[in-house]
Amino acid sequence: MPGIAVRFRVVEAEQLIGAVDEVNLHGPDSPTSTRGKMHGMTERVPLTDLPIEDCVDDVRAALTERGRCVVTAEPGAGKTTILPLRLLDEPWLDGRTIVLLEPRRMAARAAARRLARLLGEDAGETVGWITRDDRAVGPATRLVVVTEGVLTARLVDDPALTDVGLVIFDEFHERSVPGDVGLALMLAGAQTGEHDARLLLMSATIDADAIAAHLDDAPVVSSPGRTYPIELVWRPKKRREPLAPAVVRAVREALRGPGDVLVFLPGVGEIRTVERELTAALGPDGPAVLPLHGSLPSAEQDAALVARAERRVVLATNIAETSLTVDGITAVVDSGLERTARLDPRTGMSGLHTINCSRASADQRAGRAGRLGPGVAIRLWSKAEHAARAPHAPPAITEDDMTPVALDLARRAIIDPATLPFLTPPDTARWAKAVELLTTLGALDDTGAATDLGRRMAMLPVHPRLARLIVDARHPWLACVIAAVLDERDVLRGRPVDLPVELAERVRLVIDPDAHHGAADSRALRTV
C-alpha cells in the first residue's frame, strides 16, 4: 500500500491521542527541564584538524552579533560533528538547549552518538536525541538532536521555544516539508518576538546567497571539505535490463580495488533483490553484504555503518547520501534513482515514487568514495543522461501533499500560508485542495479554523484521512490496524497486478498469528 513515510504503531486510540507529548522537546525527563550555566564544555573536545575548525570563530561572531548564520561546508569538513559542540559555551545560550535538526531518524541517532563520544559520554547525557518514536535524553542534556518533524510539532505547541537558545538546521539542501515549515515558523516567531532563539543553517550544497537574503542578509561562512579525487566511471544500464544485474556487475568491478563499497538503490525492494543476487554472485567467501535503510532495526543500521575486519558491500537508500557517515568506503555504485514522496491522486495521500536523482544528489553520493583517499564512483547511466538531469531536486513543499501541514498550522490559527515567511511558498492549488479535504473531514470549519475534531486528528502521527478513521471509530483497535496497513509498505510482496486488492486479507495477516499467505512480507508485517 502507498505509505506516507510515517511509522505507525498499533496501539489503543487513547494512547495515540496522548502520543503528541512524545514529540515535545520538553517534559518531565526532557533536556529543558533544568537549567544551568555551562562551564568548559568546549574545552572537553580537543582541537581537531577538521577544516570547519578554522570557521568556528566566524560562526560564533555571526550568531553573537546577528543571531543568524548560513554555513556552507563541503563533505568531510566536520560541520555536524564539531560546530554544535563548539557553541555550547556561548554566553548568549545562558544554559539553554541547542537543538540540532537532522532529516532522518537514523541520522539523528548516529549524530547524537558521535557527538556524545567526542565528549567521552554516552548519548542521553550532555548530548541526546529525540525522534517521533524514540528518545535518549536526560536532565543534563544541553544538545538534543531531533528530526525535523519534532521541531515543527514543538513550534506549533510552543511558539516561544521555551529554554531553546539555538536551532541548527543541518543538511538544509534536502528541503523537506517539515524543514521548510519549521524554518518559516521560526522566522515568524522571531518577527513577532515570541522567541529569541538564534538560527544556524548548514549544508554542503545550497544556494547560500539566496537563503542568506531570506534571513535578512545573514552572514555566510564557507568551509572547504576534506575529500580526495574521485574517478567517475559511466556504466549505463542496458535498455530494459533489470537493475540488479547491472548493480552486480558494477560491484564486482568496484571490488577490484581496495576498501568497502557503498551502493545507492531507490528502495527496500531493490535492496532485497540486489542483496539476494549479489550474495549468490560473490559466494560464501565474498564480502559481507549489508542493507541500510530506515525500516531496519537500529542494531542492524549501526552494524552497516561501522567498518569491520572483512570487506563489506553496503546497500543503502539515499539515507546515506549526506547526513550519515559510513566508515571505510572507497567506492560508490550509484543506480541514479531515488524514492520521493509525491501526492498520489488514487489515495489522496503522499505515496513513494521512483525518480532520477538530481545532479547535486549524484555528486553528494560520489563524494562518499573520497573520504579516506582517492576513490571511484560508478554510475549506471551515461554522461549525456547526466547532463539532462535537474541540477537540484525541487523543494518538497511545491510537490507534496499539504493536508497535514494545513491542519498543523490551523491549530495555530494560521489559515493563509502567505502570512508565513516561507523560503518557497507552498503550491497554491495543492493548498486549496488540502483545505477542501480537511473541511470535508470535519477538521476545519467554514472559516478555515481547526475544529475540536481537527485538533484530535492532528495529535495522531498519521495522515488526516487515517486520523479521521481512528478518532470516532466504534472499534479503535481495529481502526488502528487498518490505518497501519494503509500507511505502511504493502504486507504482500510482488507485482501489484499479481496481488489481491482486498484490504481484509492484509488485516487478517496482521491480527491473526496463525494466518498465512504465499506472498506475505515478514519484515513489512513486523513493521506494521
Residue 425, C-alpha cell as written in the block: 511558498
Sign, CA dihedral 358-294-431-465, equals positive
The chain-wide mean pLDDT, for the chain, equals 84
Nearest to 434 by CA among 466, 401, 467, 462: 401
Kindly state the percentage of the chain with pLDDT values over 70: 82
Query: By three-state DSSP, how is residue 222 classified?
Result: strand
Please tell me which residue, 507 or 229, carries the higher pLDDT value. Answer: 229
Q: List, in sequence order, the alpha helices (H) in 145-234.
A: 148-157, 177-192, 208-214
Averaged pLDDT for residues 87-114: 92
Quote the radius of gyration of the chain (alpha carbons, Å): 23
Residue 17 pLDDT level (bands cut at 50, 70, 90): very low
Predicted confidence (pLDDT) at residue 64 exceeds the cutoff of 70? yes
Q: List, in sequence order, the alpha helices (H) in 46-196.
A: 56-65, 79-86, 105-118, 148-157, 177-192
Please tell me which residue, 122 or 227, carries the higher pLDDT value. Answer: 122
Distances (CA, A) of 239 to 269, 381, 384, 386, 508: 20, 10, 15, 16, 40
Residues 405 and 294: their CA atoms lie apart, in Å, by 23
Averaged pLDDT for residues 398-407: 92
pLDDT, residue 206, reads 78
Common-topology check for domains 20-223 and 230-394: yes
Domain ranges of the chain: 20-223, 230-394, 397-527
Residues 173 and 361: their CA atoms lie apart, in Å, by 10
Residues 72 and 64: their CA atoms lie apart, in Å, by 19
Predicted confidence (pLDDT) at residue 61 exceeds the cutoff of 70? yes
pLDDT, residue 39, reads 45
Kindly state the percentage of the chain with pLDDT values over 90: 53
Place of cell 505502511: 488
- Highest-confidence segment of 106-115, 171-180, 219-228, 434-443: 434-443
Per CATH, the homologous superfamily of domain 20-223 is P-loop containing nucleotide triphosphate hydrolases (3.40.50.300)
For the entire predicted model, the pTM comes to 0.82
Q: Which residues of 465-491 are buried (b: 16+ CB within 10 A; e: fewer)?
A: bbbbbbbeeeebeebbbbbbbbbbbbb
What's the pLDDT tens digit per position in 417-476?
999 999 999 988 889 999 999 999 999 999 999 999 999 999 888 889 989 988 988 878
Predicted confidence (pLDDT) at residue 512 exceeds the cutoff of 70? no
Averaged pLDDT for residues 379-407: 93
Residue type, position 129, single letter: W
Query: By three-state DSSP, how is residue 252 classified?
Result: helix
Place of cell 508565513: 420
Q: List, in sequence order, the alpha helices (H) in 295-389.
A: 298-305, 359-367, 383-388
pLDDT, residue 503, reads 65
Please tell me which residue, 478 or 10, carries the higher pLDDT value. Answer: 478
Lowest-confidence pick of 29-33, 95-99, 473-477: 29-33
Averaged pLDDT for residues 466-493: 75
Query: By three-state DSSP, how is residue 15 classified?
Result: helix
pLDDT, residue 18, reads 35
Query: By three-state DSSP, how is residue 426 classified?
Result: coil
Predicted confidence (pLDDT) at residue 8 exceeds the cutoff of 50? no
Predicted confidence (pLDDT) at residue 497 exceeds the cutoff of 90? no
At the top level of CATH, the class of 230-394 is alpha beta
Nearest to 350 by CA among 162, 190, 487: 487
Residue 491 pLDDT level (bands cut at 50, 70, 90): low
What's the pLDDT tens digit per position in 313-362?
999 998 888 767 788 899 999 999 998 877 666 566 667 788 999 998 99
Averaged pLDDT for residues 175-186: 93
Residue 316, C-alpha cell as written in the block: 543503502
Residues 278 and 217: their CA atoms lie apart, in Å, by 50
Query: By three-state DSSP, how is residue 478 classified?
Result: helix
pLDDT, residue 423, reads 95
pLDDT, residue 93, reads 95
pLDDT, residue 444, reads 96
Predicted confidence (pLDDT) at residue 230 exceeds the cutoff of 80? yes
